[in-house]
Amino acid sequence: RMPVSVPSADRRQRALAAFSLSFLSLALSITAFSSSYWCEGTRKVAKPFCTGHPCMRSNSPDASNSSAVQYVWETGDDKFIDQKFHAGIWYSCEEIINEEGEKCRSFISLTPAADRGVFWLSIVAEFLYIILLLTGAILMSVELCYYSAAIDGLKINAFSAVVTVLAGLLGMVAHMMYTTVFQMTVNLGPEDWRPHTWDYGWSYCLAWASFACCMAAAVTTINKYTKTILEFKNKRKTLARNLKVKYKISDH
């Protein structure tokens, strides 16, 4: 068997690009998974009853009367206030009115019972997504540092491509399942949690950015594998052609 040359600089650059994308995808997914800013919004809540001077808006002689303060506070549009909240896979946190800090509760406790199975599936899929991303990154780093045989590196390359593609599919399914569960919780969740307005937060954007980087790493890895195979076939044809020429020369 003819020895195979060490991978070219171009193949090494493609391997480094795939590893960088895979590592970036892993970092983004861990950050998004551990945060609670997948969705952000506000809730309409009643203002707490106020008896102090800052709450009074009337200059009437009865302004110091508690009944007058209560009348001013509980009528009109000023009865409600927007309470900010943010939610993730693990927690949903709401700001405390007239105080600093937040109060948080488990998101699973807010999810409707009929959708908790889908919610747990999304968590399992997220875990598997991160594990497969880590496996793919380790394989790519091994391939990047493997100099002795290009054939062995090609096998590692093929396996890392399969692992990264599977990770991307799992990540897409996990993100979509969580989106569905959150929307169902908005419609059917507890009355004291349902948001008035909401939108997706920066963690949600990071999760999909992680998916995009994962698929880019998979495409780069598959492209590297395909180009390497074509290079080997071309070298084999060139070698066979040269051998034929040598045999013809020796026969003459």
Query: How many alpha carbons lie under 13 Å from residue 81 in its C-beta half-sphere?
Result: 13
DSSP code at position 3: P
CA nearest to 225, candidates 136, 145, 161, 133: 161
pLDDT at 150: 61
CA distance 8 to 228: 10
Mean pLDDT of the chain: 80
Tell me which of 91 and 101 has the higher pLDDT.
Answer: 91
Q: Residues 153, 154, 159, CA angle at the centre, nearest 5°?
A: 100
DSSP code at position 2: P
> So where are the chain's domains?
12-35+112-234
**Which runs of E-coded beta strand occur in 158-243?**
197-200
Tell me which of 100 and 27 has the higher pLDDT.
Answer: 27
12-35+112-234 belongs to which CATH class? mainly alpha
Q: What is the pTM of this model?
A: 0.76
Tell me which of 211 and 191 has the higher pLDDT.
Answer: 211
pLDDT digits (tens, 9 = 90+) for 33-75: 999 999 999 887 777 665 554 554 444 455 455 544 444 444 4
CA nearest to 97, candidates 86, 79, 110, 82: 82
pLDDT at 244: 65
pLDDT at 108: 92
pLDDT digits (tens, 9 = 90+) for 79-91: 777 888 999 999 9
